[in-house]
A and B are shown apart, each in its own frame.
Chain A
């Protein structure tokens, strides 16, 4: 397998080095795989942080910047960061108002964040809150989770929590909004090919030439069913209907959507999917207030996509429209 990698073991470290070199507004905490805003901690603002395994870029460090995250910790590929590094990140992002952690629902991530929060409270008396995002409607339990997995819907939590913090909200208010987004967001994905991890250098699962896996996670872990390849419209219908059914969104509601690429999908195909998604939503009497298309939470080089739907209200619209400037997502005023 051909890859732009020097040594598999060095890939995460070298990626972070390159990332910080490209974005002078980011800096790395020495001796760690933690990236924070260059000016962290921002005094007088709740710090918003996230983290998880690598291989999902631009998640997580790609969402660091004004109006979104203050810090992000990168674990090894598809592996949780360790609690000591998460604790360092939390402490480095505390500007006196506490820190809020956005955690995706994977056993390792949740356990390490919980431990890190205790460490930060013990060592630095930091006030910490957190939310566990579990937006994947495909499976209840999986290889890595009890309950649902946290996937691309997490981007909306980063955005809403980041906007709240920027506006001066306290920890409790931020937690309320993060929970609200988590309650109202759903995602389902599909894989056309397996991803290839640097370590293994080969496909992590076998998928036939004419097969796709529905309900796929972001680590190549199995989904709900394997079927023969369908048309883009049929796949879109399948994913979107599962999400809408789970959310129970009623006609007349306003939604924000993400057609997320898994890392190896041409943008052309993502737009083809989005075309059908928007038509389907309109058919259901739903109004799309904002539609995003692109690579937001990837699975290395996997071909495939996920569809995320968030049911909006006035508060969430305001927060999603709030300006943000990060390597992975920018929202400008107006």
Chain B
């Protein structure tokens, strides 16, 4: 996958994420009204619509595109979610300057997680988006680096892990963010930030499938030269992964 194709995949992923945020607006707002201030759905929707607009004039370079989405989210989402989603995406976009590869996508994902943790001063178990991002990023890295998965397969496993992370936020007590003020009353409610993170990752996976599925299957079934396969597949996947990470 060359840089132009990577850029196209990032644009498609952003559009898919924007559609998803629009579709889930009231779901996210309902989750947030239970334990927060009831604006997460509207804020994320506004942010991704702004991101789409800003991408229209952005250069077809993966790092620039991801950074542009980050800046849009920082400017438009507001509150704490703006810097958490947008600022982390901006910072992690630096890992994609040489384009999207399996390697750079892992670096991107790790940098994204690290920035969210630092900025939000949150760890796993605090009932925040970190509970979705951490298992996703760890699973992605392990799948690629230890299990030798192709990026698409790794991303699929990462989304499954994020889903389990989101489920984990329901029965635990919030320790960070506005929900923490509710103390024990936050138990039994799913975290809105973890939920929106999962939605964005799911969209990333969908777009990644469209771009990488063919390659991957051919690879596995036809016993193609692995090196030939690895390049494009990694590129495509990283692209999406980067984008999704950013989004989440």
Contacts and interface: CB of A to CB of B under 8 A. Distances in A.
Given A83-B74, A146-B121, A115 B83 contact: yes
Nearest to B181: A143
A280 B180 CA distance: 37
A141 B177 CA distance: 11
Given A83-B87, A115-B87, A119-B90, A141 B74 contact: no
B176 A111 contact: no
Contact of B119 (A82, A84, A115): A115
A114 interface: yes
B95 to A, nearest CB: 14
Interface in A220-278: none
B125 interface: no
Contacts of A79: 78-79
Contact of B82 (A112, A118, A142, A143): A112
A84 B78 CA distance: 10
Contacts of A306: none
A143 B178 CA distance: 6
B90 A80 contact: no
Nearest to A81: B78
B130 to A, nearest CB: 14
B164 interface: no
A161 to B, nearest CB: 23
B80 A82 contact: no
Interface string B67-99: 000010011101110111011001100000000
Contacts of A25: none
Which of B78, B80, B83, B91 has its CB near the most chain A CB atoms (within 10 A)?
A: B83
A114 B119 contact: yes
A111 B71 contact: no
A149 to B, nearest CB: 13
B74 A115 contact: yes
A122 to B, nearest CB: 8
Given A115-B87, A118-B87, A146-B176, A82 B82 contact: yes
Interface in A111-155: 111-112, 114-115, 118-119, 122, 141-144, 146
Interface in B81-128: 82-84, 86-87, 90-91, 119-121
A111 B78 contact: no
Contacts of A80: 78-79
Among B82, B176, B180, residue most surrounded by chain A Cβ atoms (within 10 Å): B82
B83 A114 contact: yes
B83 A112 contact: yes
B120 A82 contact: no
A111 B75 contact: no
B75 A82 contact: yes
A107 interface: yes
B224 to A, nearest CB: 40
A211 to B, nearest CB: 21
Most buried by B among A107, A115, A146: A115
Contacts of B180: 141
Contact of A111 (B83, B178, B181): B83
A305 B176 CA distance: 29
A134 to B, nearest CB: 14
A108 interface: yes
Given A114-B119, A115-B119, A84 B79 contact: no
Contacts of A143: 178, 181
Nearest to A123: B71
Given A82-B82, A111-B120, A114-B83, 14 more contacts: A79-B79, A82-B75, A83-B82, A83-B87, A84-B71, A85-B75, A111-B80, A111-B83, A112-B82, A114-B87, A115-B74, A141-B180, A143-B178, A146-B176
20 contacts: A79-B78, A79-B79, A80-B79, A82-B74, A82-B75, A83-B75, A83-B86, A111-B83, A111-B84, A111-B87, A111-B120, A112-B82, A112-B83, A114-B119, A115-B74, A119-B71, A122-B90, A141-B180, A143-B181, A146-B176
Interface of B: 71, 74-76, 78-80, 82-84, 86-87, 90-91, 119-121, 176-178, 180-181
The 7 residue pairs across chains A and B that have the minimum distance between CB atoms: A115-B87, A115-B83, A111-B83, A84-B75, A83-B74, A143-B181, A108-B80
